[in-house]
Amino acid sequence: MAAYRRRVTHEPNPEQPPEPPPGPATSATLQRRRIVGAATQLGTEVSINFGSSLAGLVIPVVGSFVTVAARQIVMVAAVLPFYRPKRAEFTWRRIRPAIALGVALAVMNLAFYESVHLLGLGIAATIEFLGPLGLALATSRRVLDVVCALAAGSGVVLLIGPGSSDAAAIDPWGVVLALTAAAAWAAYIVLTRRVAVGLPGLEGLTIASIVSLVLLLPFAIATFDPAVIDWGVVGLLLGVGVLSSALPYSLDTFILRRITPRLYAIITSFGPVIAAVFGWLVLSETFTVTEVVAIAIVCGAAGTAIATQRDRPKSDLERTAEGMA
């Protein structure tokens, strides 16, 4: 799935003989790596959406800026003690993807949480998923992908149009924010791959987390109200930070070195369903039959489009990156 892969130009050496096919031991090792990566990715989907449901509880109390800033504070606290970026090794070319990733993180999280506050977790998560789906279809010319794109669009119309639980109450600004989060998520996928290939260990993730926090902190301070803070609020903010940031984002580079971006996206396509479940369990959201069908249509269209994409051959650089860790 070319849209999800880092575009690396590699010219083969005609004097170098082709690599022999992997033997049974190598194939078994790669299969184990894929299973571990896929299981980890599924676990991060549960973690992110549980954290998002906790955010839905605390945002009405402290606001989106404070909630997202708290996420990033927890994230920085989790990764910085284990890896401090070495300024002497910084070059603009090396850190540029990580800085861009930090901007994408800030925009994605802020827009998504505010859309959760305005639309509810299940609806916001479904609209947000148009980002990775659009990325998967961006370079495709297949009729099936056109059908999947139309199906996903129809699902979103069903979700926010007549037949939803309260169509008249669907906040247009919430829809705009969810679509903004979708675009930022697409950028996040591309940039995470570039950071994973170009920067060792947690270096890129640390830089991105600091950049995101620096961008958000002034707004969080301006909107912070100490009067609403108690231990319950602190516990929710810590839970959001650990479940939605520290744990899943620190595992993304680990995952993307073990599974293909296509498999990553297929597993992620179950995200709206998981989000709807936690919206129901934690936030007491209710869904009509039409909304359930709409969420299923979007997830099914995404899974079909992504699962049927053809993998392109990997470059030596990508194979080397996936062998790291």
Please state whether the predicted TM-score (pTM) of the whole model is above 0.85. Answer: no
More confident: 164 or 305: 305
Give the pLDDT confidence of 25-54 residue by residue, as tens digits.
577 777 888 888 888 888 998 999 999 999
Give the pLDDT confidence of 154-168 residue by residue, as tens digits.
888 888 766 555 555
Which residues, including other chains, have CB under 8 Å from residue 285's CB and lie 6 or more apart?
Answer: 120, 121, 122, 276, 279
Query: How many residues are present in the chain?
Result: 325
In a domain, 151, yes or no: yes
Spatial CA neighbour of 45 closest among 259, 268, 277, 280: 268
What six digits make up the tokens of 288? Answer: 């009509």
**Is a pLDDT exceeding 90 seen at residue 234?**
yes
In a domain, 3, yes or no: no
Determine the pLDDT at residue 114.
Answer: 95
End-to-end CA distance of the chain: 23
Q: What Å distances lie between residue 248 and 215, 265, 270, 294, 319, CA to CA?
A: 21, 15, 16, 27, 23
Instruction: Report, as an integer, the average pLDDT of 114-132.
Output: 89
In a domain, 1, yes or no: no
Compute the distance between CA of residue 240 and CA of residue 58 in angstroms, rounded to an integer: 9
In a domain, 10, yes or no: no
In a domain, 127, yes or no: yes
Determine the pLDDT at residue 56.
Answer: 94
Ranges 83-87, 234-238, 293-297, most confident: 234-238
Contact status, residue 51 vs residue 283, Cβ threshold 8 Å: no
Which residues, including other chains, have CB under 8 Å from residue 213's CB and lie 6 or more apart?
Answer: 69, 72, 73, 75, 76
Handedness of CA 182, 50, 278, 215 (dihedral sign): negative
Which residues, including other chains, have CB under 8 Å from residue 143's CB and lie 6 or more apart?
Answer: none
In a domain, 25, yes or no: no
Determine the pLDDT at residue 268.
Answer: 76
Cα angle value 30/31/32 (rounded, 5°) = 90
In a domain, 279, yes or no: yes
Task: Give DSSP secondary structure letters for 252-312.
Answer: HHHHHTTS-HHHHHHHHTTHHHHHHHHHHHHH-----HHHHHHHHHHHHHHHHHHHTPPPP
Q: What Å distances lie between residue 14 and 3, 18, 312, 316, CA to CA?
A: 28, 9, 20, 14
Structural domains of the chain, count = 1
In a domain, 108, yes or no: yes
Compute the distance between CA of residue 265 and CA of residue 276 in angstroms, rounded to an integer: 18
Residue 306, domain extent: 35-322
Confidence class of residue 310 from pLDDT cuts 50, 70 and 90?
Answer: low
Cα angle value 206/210/216 (rounded, 5°) = 145
More confident: 223 or 146: 223
Determine the pLDDT at residue 69.
Answer: 94
Contact status, residue 295 vs residue 126, Cβ threshold 8 Å: yes
Confidence class of residue 311 from pLDDT cuts 50, 70 and 90?
Answer: low
Which residues, including other chains, have CB under 8 Å from residue 114's CB and lie 6 or more apart?
Answer: 59, 64, 174, 177
